[in-house]
Every structure is written in structure tokens, then in C-alpha cells.
Structure 1
Amino acid sequence: MPGLMAEIVQNDNKHKNILVLCFLCLGVYVYLYGNVSVNLEKIEHIQRSALRQLSHVLHRREDGNDTATASRRSEWKGASALQEWDASRRLLTVFTSWSKSGTTALLRNNTALNWRKLWPCLHPVLFTNDTELARNVQKHGWDSLPILHTEVNMPVLKHMYLTAMKLYRSPLYAFVNGDILFTQSLVETLMKILQSELYNRSAVLVVGRRTNLLNVTRMLATNEVVLTREAIKRGELFTPWGIDYFITSRSFPWGDMPDMVIGRIAYDNFLVVEANKRNVTTIDATKTVLAVHQTMTKGSEYKSHSQPHNSDFNLKLLAKIYKKINYAAGTTNGACYFTKYDNKSEVSIVRR
């Protein structure tokens, strides 16, 4: 069988479609007629591994015949990052953390299903010490990792990044609040950033505003066409002060960051201020990345501002270290660049 697949790939490009169809048919056959005692998670794992290898084989052939693609990729930073992206197609290791008390089962499942639909470009990870939550996301193809560093019973942000960078290889890493949903617009924007000279020149921090949307069902979370339509129709763009995703390159100085925790105010605006001070390339992706916030009830969009326990932990921590911080310079508007769609409906990056 391996020899046959190799022979097919060496033939005309039209055979690629046949190979992909054969793979999909095989997956359906295994699902429908395979031994019912076989664990479905194992079947999915086999399919994922096979698809990764198939993607790698086809992609290598495309690289050999497309000089434009090869030329474009030669501008990327670091051969190792490029090789890793070629092999797995993973653009982003994305992680979050949630608790049963702070979220609903519907919200958590919506996020798990939504992020999983962007595989293999996104590799989702949940930081949790709850075995039930870990099992639930693993059923959806996520990884789970224990929370090892906490303050005021909340995960320390920088250690989430440092752990993810140690265990996973990808050009970009991101903490995202666990109630945020994405579409393919995220993948398109990240690919543009990775192909830009900005990614070559320095560390990168990508942020953006979210769109609050009430009554997000499972169908909405898993159908990006309908999700986009509903977000345009009845969604509300949130303030530039509130940032829910932080996409960084591996070279971002996370080791130098204070022990700020997630779920409390100030860390988001501080990161933009500090990144600009350290000459990190900061990019506001609001205009090209749809980030939908699953708003449960009116007013819940300001949840982190109303936490009764140590809500000002980050503020006090940062005040001790930096004395005075201009948080107003740390909104999404404080990013030095922003993305937009040009007249060809392609993502472009513009200096503010």
C-alpha cells in the first residue's frame, strides 16, 4: 500500500483528488463497518495521522513545482519553523483554561468543537487540573495539560506560554479566553503575517477586538457561514480596552513577563504597552479576524471586571514593579500595525 501511494503521488496532479477521495472513503468505511468495539478516539487518531502524512506528501510535491511558493517561503524566519509548518500544517498552538463554575457545558463544548474545526492549522490545548474537563476536550481532539503555576487560584499566563512552547512546535502560540469562537479568517490572517517581513524582523504580538453575540448555539459554533452572518446581523463589537486573544511568536519575551494571571483585569493592556516598549511588532487584527464572544447574558461581557476575589491582583502586582503604567496606550488601538482587506479581498498589513 505505501508503494502504491508513492506511485500515485508521482503521477499527474489530477491524481491528488483521487487520493484524497480514497482516503475519505476509507474513513467512512471504517466508521460504518469497522469493529464496533474499536474505540472511536483511536479511529480519529489514525485518521489524523494519515491525513498529516498525506498533507505532507502532497505539499512537498507542490513545493517542487511551484517556484513562486518556494520563493515566498524562503522569506520566512527560521528553517526549522518552516519545515515544521510543512510537515504538520500547524500554524498556531492555541490554549485556554476554564472551570465548571465559570462556564457552562454548552459554552465549553461550543469552543471545543469550534477550535477543533480549524485543525490541523490550530492545535488546541486546555490547561486544567479537572480530570472530567480534560476527558471532555480530549474527546474532541484537544490535548490537556495540568496547571502547575497559579496565583490567587488562577493560572499564571506566562507559564502557560512557556509550557506550550516547550511541548509543541509551531510558528505561533496563543492564549485565548475560553468563550471565544473563530472562523477561517483567523487562519488567513496568520498566514499573511507569517509570510510578511514583519515576522522576520522581530517578535510579534497579534491582538484584536471581539464581537459579542448572545445565544450562541452548537449549530452556530460549528457552522462558520451562519456564525459570520449572525455576528454581522446582531453582534456588537466590544471596546478596544478588552482583549481576548494574544498571538505571539516564539521569540516573544515571555520569560521576562511578570506573574500575571488570566481572568483578572490589566494584563491585556499591559502586554500591548510592554510589547511596544520592547520593539515587538504589535498587530491589531480586528478588521480581518472574526472573534466571537459567547455572551451568556447582557452585562456578562464585563465579567473580569466584576470578579469578587482579588479582581485587582494584576493591577497591584504591576504597580509594585512598574509604579506607573499608561494603560490607555495598551488598547488594540495601541498596536503599531493593523490588518485589513485590500481591493482584491486579500489580507494586508498596514502601519498606523
Structure 2
Amino acid sequence: AAGRPVLRQMFIESQRRFNTDLYMYSNGDILFHIKKLITSLKEIKRFTKAHNIRRFIVFGGRREAKFYSTSGDTIEIISGLDEEITRRGQGTKLGLSNAQDYFITSKTSFPWDAMPDFVVSVPAFDNWLLMFSNKADIATFDITATNLAVHQAGAPKFIDNDYNKSASNNMELYNESIISYGGTSIYCCKWKTMYDGGGKVIIVKNPTFKNECIGKLKIPVENLLDENIFQG
């Protein structure tokens, strides 16, 4: 993988080493409002248990905050506490809807063994996850509306030969799996979190989820949904 971690192996190894309710991947340049994140995930846990949803994966969008510019102006994080993250997120806009920079599953809610050897921090692996999950009838949740994830934007991407090899590897795997390329947007999650009138996090059906969100895949998804995969 040209020196970059393979996402599938990261989750499998983390789940082997640690026993916890949820496991999360995030790009290293994302700052989270921890209280909002935990509150959103608690509602996901409650909802999936109440509705007997055993197969699920959680996604979310990011807000773009300029931390670096070529003129030398940079912003440094002082405390990293929720209050500071709130300030950094004020006045920012949502990033690209097809950039899923973080996602969360439980130990048994997603079949990581079935995922190709995508590497992290280059394109395609996140889009594949969303498309595969919707095709495989794994419940997809979008927590953008109740979670604050701030992207430390502005720093130029370091692209070398290893980066290009990794990106080429991911695109090859992606093209081997995908027939139609719809359904890569965060708006294609089946469920979403929101606040009710009293400020409580709730989960509702996502009105932007359409039939077009179910992509066509070359891989035999039905063979990957054997019940044994999901036994914890």
C-alpha cells in the first residue's frame, strides 16, 4: 500500500485489541466538538438497539475552516476544548458532500473482512463504503446536523510517488467494484440526526435519500451478507 495503512486491517486490528461499543476512523486534520459527537452517537446506539438494527455505519460532513495560507498566516489550536472548536466552526461552510472524512461502526455492524484493500487518506475508499453499505442494506446514518467536525483547511497536500501509487491503487479497486457512480454524497445516507423542538437529538428518515442513491456494483454483495459475518 505504498506505506499507507489499509483501512480494513485498521478496523480488524483495532477490534481485536480493544473491546468497546463503537470504533471510529477520522482523517487527522478534523477537529471534533466532543459533546456533540458523543450525544449524536448515543442516539445512534439507542435507535439501532430500539429498532433491532444490527448492521449500520455512521458518516458525517465537515465544515471548512482556513487554518493555513501561503502568505504564512496560520491558526493554532490552544486548548482543543469544545468551546474553542465552536469558535473555529462559526461562519464556516460545509465541505464537499462526497468527502466522508470520518465514520463509525460497532464490532459487528459492518463486514470489514469483505472490504477490498483500500488505503486511507487518498480518494475513493470513503465513497466505496457508502455505496457498498446502501447496496448491502446496511443502515447508513448522517450525523452532520448534530455534530461539529471542523476541517483544518488550507495546507497544501503533499503529493509524492507513494501518494500517486496509493491513489492509483484505490481507484483501481474502486473501478473494479463500481458500475454506476451515483450515491457517493453524504445526502445518500438513509437516516439522519437532527434536533427536535426541545434541542434533543433525534433520528429521522433522510428526505434526500432516493433510489438513485443505490449504486450498481460489480461485486456480489449478497455473498458478503452471510449472517456469520455479523456474529460477534
Which band: TM-score by shorter chain?
0.7 to 0.9
Which residue in the other structure is 1:341 paired with?
195
**What is the distance in 2 between the residues matched to 1:162 and 1:256?**
11
User: 1:163-191 CA distances to partner (integer Å, 9 max, x unpaired)?
Assistant: 01111111111111011111110000011
Partner AA of 2:42 in structure 1: M
In the alignment, does 2:174 pair up with 1:318? yes
Alpha-carbon contact 1:264-1:313 (below 8 Å) kept: no
Name which of 70, 82, 102 aligns with 1:245: 102
Which residue in the other structure is 1:200 paired with?
52
In the alignment, does 2:177 pair up with 1:327? no
Alpha-carbon contact 2:48-2:54 (below 8 Å) kept: no
User: 1:185-206 CA distances to partner (integer Å, 9 max, x unpaired)?
Assistant: 0000011111114673222110
The alpha carbon displacement at 1:293 in A equals 1.1
Partner AA of 2:104 in structure 1: I
The alpha carbon displacement at 1:249 in A equals 1.6
In the alignment, does 2:70 pair up with 1:212? no
User: 1:233-284 CA distances to partner (integer Å, 9 max, x unpaired)?
Assistant: 3x23101111100101211100111111001211111100101111111001
State TM-score, norm by structure 2: 0.77
Partner AA of 2:57 in structure 1: L
Partner AA of 1:207 in structure 2: F
Partner AA of 1:314 in structure 2: N
**What is the distance in 2 between the residues matched to 1:243 and 1:296?**
18
Name which of 157, 163, 173 aligns with 2:23: 173
**What is the distance in 2 between the residues matched to 1:160 and 1:268?**
14
Which residue in the other structure is 1:350 paired with?
204
Alpha-carbon contact 1:341-1:348 (below 8 Å) kept: yes
In the alignment, does 2:43 pair up with 1:189? no
The alpha carbon displacement at 1:229 in A equals 2.5
User: 1:284-304 CA distances to partner (integer Å, 9 max, x unpaired)?
Assistant: 11101111111244xx4x778
**What is the distance in 2 between the residues matched to 1:211 and 1:344?**
24
**What is the distance in 1 between the residues matched to 2:48 and 2:4?**
37
User: 1:29-86 CA distances to partner (integer Å, 9 max, x unpaired)?
Assistant: xxxxxxxxxxxxxxxxxxxxxxxxxxxxxxxxxxxxxxxxxxxxxxxxxxxxxxxxxx
Name the Cα RMSD after superposition. Answer: 2.1
Question: Which has more radius of gyration?
Answer: 1
Aligned length: 194
The alpha carbon displacement at 1:310 in A equals 3.9
**What is the distance in 1 between the residues matched to 2:187 and 2:101?**
14
Alpha-carbon contact 1:189-1:347 (below 8 Å) kept: yes
Partner AA of 2:36 in structure 1: S
**What is the distance in 2 between the residues matched to 1:280 and 1:303?**
34
**What is the distance in 1 between the residues matched to 2:205 and 2:192?**
7
Alpha-carbon contact 1:210-1:238 (below 8 Å) kept: yes
Gapped runs of 5+ residues in structure 2?
68-74, 207-232
Q: 1:217 to 1:161 in 2, by over 3 A?
A: same
> SS at 1:174's partner residue?
strand
In the alignment, does 2:133 pair up with 1:279? no
Partner AA of 1:167 in structure 2: R
Alpha-carbon contact 2:194-2:201 (below 8 Å) kept: yes
State TM-score, norm by structure 1: 0.52
Which residue in the other structure is 2:6 paired with?
156
Which residue in the other structure is 2:126 paired with?
268
Identity %: 31
Where is the helix percentage greater, Structure 1 or Structure 2?
Answer: 1
> SS at 2:167's partner residue?
coil
**What is the distance in 1 between the residues matched to 2:38 and 2:170?**
31
Which residue in the other structure is 1:292 paired with?
150
Alpha-carbon contact 1:264-1:312 (below 8 Å) kept: no
**What is the distance in 2 between the residues matched to 1:328 and 1:287?**
22
The alpha carbon displacement at 1:218 in A equals 2.2
- Of the two structures, which has the highest relative contact order with CA contacts closer than 8 Å and spacing of 6 or more? 2
Gapped runs of 5+ residues in structure 1?
1-150
